[in-house]
Amino acid sequence: MLDWLREELTRYYTSVKVLKQGEQSTVQVMRHNTLHTDMIVRDFTGSGEVYEALQKISHPNIPVVYEVAQEGSHVVVLEEFIDGTTIAETLKTQTYAETEAVNIVMELCGVLAVLHSLGIIHRDIKPENVMIGREGRVKLIDYGAARFYKSYQVNDTVIIGTTGFAAPEQFGIAQTDNRTDIFSLGILLNVMLTGEHPSRRLYPGKRLARVIQRCTQIAPDKRYLNVQRLEKELGRWR
């Protein structure tokens, strides 16, 4: 399957731009030679089980996954190209107004509620992985670090995440669960509002500051129980 997919890509597509390249992963935009349509091709070492699950999901905040091929620990994923801008790109020149930041996080709560109901923990929510499409739709991208929650495990088998946004349990002290993504949402909200991590500068608005502080508690039990409760709290603010 993997060889067939590579052959198809070589025959019918041309690389347009490499978005990310590392020792274990490459992400690039490829364009169909005849149709002139773009798609994202992810080539990485890991597990493709989350992408296989996403292939069966149709959700406005999740990029469409067209194809997943895996051979051993080598995975290639073909997914929808999103024409838009990441939060990270926007933050290079400006921060977000309260209403806009809250609306984005609430939309992320909606998509995470679906993912969490399937047992999927994203584990890498950060400005680079949230896109705003040209039509204004929020898209949660890059599920290379995502995993399925397994009730019988004490901690994660692979330590992964982005320093500054990753919850403490992602570094081997406990298993990640839905509250792990809530921690990252709290960091993201503060960064969108201030341009800085809450440990350096907490947003001064008291009500949203309390939300951010609860999301980012070290102990998972002290955070919001689930994204639905966080969304409800943010809805009260709005």
CA distance 27 to 87: 18
Catalytic residue among 124, 142, 156, 177: 124
CA distance 212 to 221: 15
Summarize the chain as % helix, strand, coil (round to 5).
40, 20, 40
Name the residue with tokens 């990640």: 176
Exposure string for 76-91, b = 16+ CB within 10 A, e = fewer: bbbbebbebebbeebb
User: Contact at 8 Å (CB) between 57 and 114?
Assistant: yes
Q: How many CB atoms lie within 10 A of CB 190?
A: 26
CA distance 86 to 69: 27
CA distance 204 to 17: 40
Quick check: is 3 catalytic?
A: no
Which residues does the annotation mark as catalytic? 124
